[in-house]
């Protein structure tokens, strides 16, 4: 079975592409770091990828609206093919491709309407607003994964830990109808939880004040995922903030890196779902 081919996007101020690529390679993917301009200019093609990742980082300064600035370039900049990259991304997903947006990358996918896309119209339904704390938050969070809905294949039997690093990560819904659609379709696939596993509504367990304690959303197809925490920042056991104690006390220490396991779950889901639905280069999982 061939390794899935992944494009990790770079450029426009994004600065987490190398560690994201490293985590994907550890998980078993074949990865190319591709500058967004290479896609916009037609020098690279989405047809050569099965998964496209919008990494975290500081695109356009990481200020509120930074995701909008990059999303506008993707949505409106005409390519040599006379298409826009947005049109090609939407077609990519329709054809069975996968998208992953991390932190600022999640914001981009949300601004493009690619996630949660509850009505299939690619209209922006959520935004990532300023943290209620009023400051940049860099802290580890406890998270629960959904056991049903489109992202159930990414579920972990126990809560996981990942760090967040953002100033604007508070999920807010456009209206009550969108919020209810997310609930009804089980699109809230990653939830901030307290130590007892209850959805966290207060700081610091919920680091930004997100509605529904939401740390990640997917679309109804289970092919587009966005999350605020950084899985690439926990790709080996030694990246955990408390690794000396964990190595001493936990027999499974060498096997436990929640971010890496999350990425591996996504690649497995791609192989199970995508191998049966994709044609050509993207179907050779």
Q: Which residues are within 8 A (CB) of 44 and not within 5 positions of it... i.e. 6 or more apart? A: 7, 34, 38
Residue 232 annotated among the catalytic residues of the structure: yes
- What distance in Å separates the CA atoms of residue 108 and residue 124, rounded to the nearest whole number? 10
Contact status, residue 102 vs residue 230, Cβ threshold 8 Å: yes
- What distance in Å separates the CA atoms of residue 248 and residue 204, rounded to the nearest whole number? 27
Question: Active site residue: 88, 141, 232, 240, which one?
Answer: 232
CA distances from 99 to 46, 94, 221, 241 (A): 11, 11, 11, 29
Residue 122 annotated among the catalytic residues of the structure: no
CA distances from 195 to 142, 144, 199, 235, 259 (A): 7, 11, 10, 22, 19
Question: Active site residue: 16, 103, 141, 218, which one?
Answer: 103
- What distance in Å separates the CA atoms of residue 7 and residue 202, rounded to the nearest whole number? 36
Question: Active site residue: 122, 166, 223, 230, which one?
Answer: 230
CA 83 to chain centre: 25
Residue 218 annotated among the catalytic residues of the structure: no
Contact status, residue 47 vs residue 280, Cβ threshold 8 Å: yes
Tokens of 214: 């939401």
Catalytic residues, by residue number, are 103, 230, 232
């Amino acid at each position: 079975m061939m390794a899935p081919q992944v494009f990790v996007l770079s450029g426009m101020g994004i600065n987490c592409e190398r560690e994201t690529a490293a985590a994907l390679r550890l998980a078993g993917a074949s990865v190319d770091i591709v500058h967004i301009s290479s896609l916009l200019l037609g020098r690279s093609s989405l047809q050569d990828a099965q998964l496209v990742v919008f990494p975290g980082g500081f695109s356009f300064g990481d200020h509120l609206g930074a995701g909008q600035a990059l999303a506008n370039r993707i949505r409106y900049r005409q390519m040599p093919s006379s298409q826009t990259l947005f049109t090609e991304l939407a077609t990519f997903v329709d054809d069975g491709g996968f998208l992953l947006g991390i932190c600022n990358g999640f914001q981009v996918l949300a601004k493009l309407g690619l996630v949660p896309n509850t009505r299939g119209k690619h209209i922006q339904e959520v935004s990532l607003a300023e943290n209620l704390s009023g400051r940049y938050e860099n802290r580890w969070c406890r998270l629960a994964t959904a056991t049903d809905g489109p992202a159930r294949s990414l579920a972990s039997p126990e809560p996981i830990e990942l760090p967040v690093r953002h100033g604007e990560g508070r999920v807010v819904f456009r209206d009550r109808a969108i919020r209810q659609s997310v609930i009804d379709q089980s699109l809230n696939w990653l939830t901030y939880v307290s130590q007892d596993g209850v959805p966290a509504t207060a700081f610091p367990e919920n680091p930004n004040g997100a509605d529904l304690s939401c740390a990640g959303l997917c679309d109804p197809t289970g092919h587009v995922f966005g999350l605020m925490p950084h899985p690439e920042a926990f790709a080996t056991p030694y990246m955990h903030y408390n690794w000396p104690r964990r190595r001493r006390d936990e027999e499974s220490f060498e096997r436990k890196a929640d971010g890496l396991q999350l990425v591996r779950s996504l690649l497995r889901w791609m192989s199970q779902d995508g191998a049966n639905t994709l044609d050509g280069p993207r179907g050779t999982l």
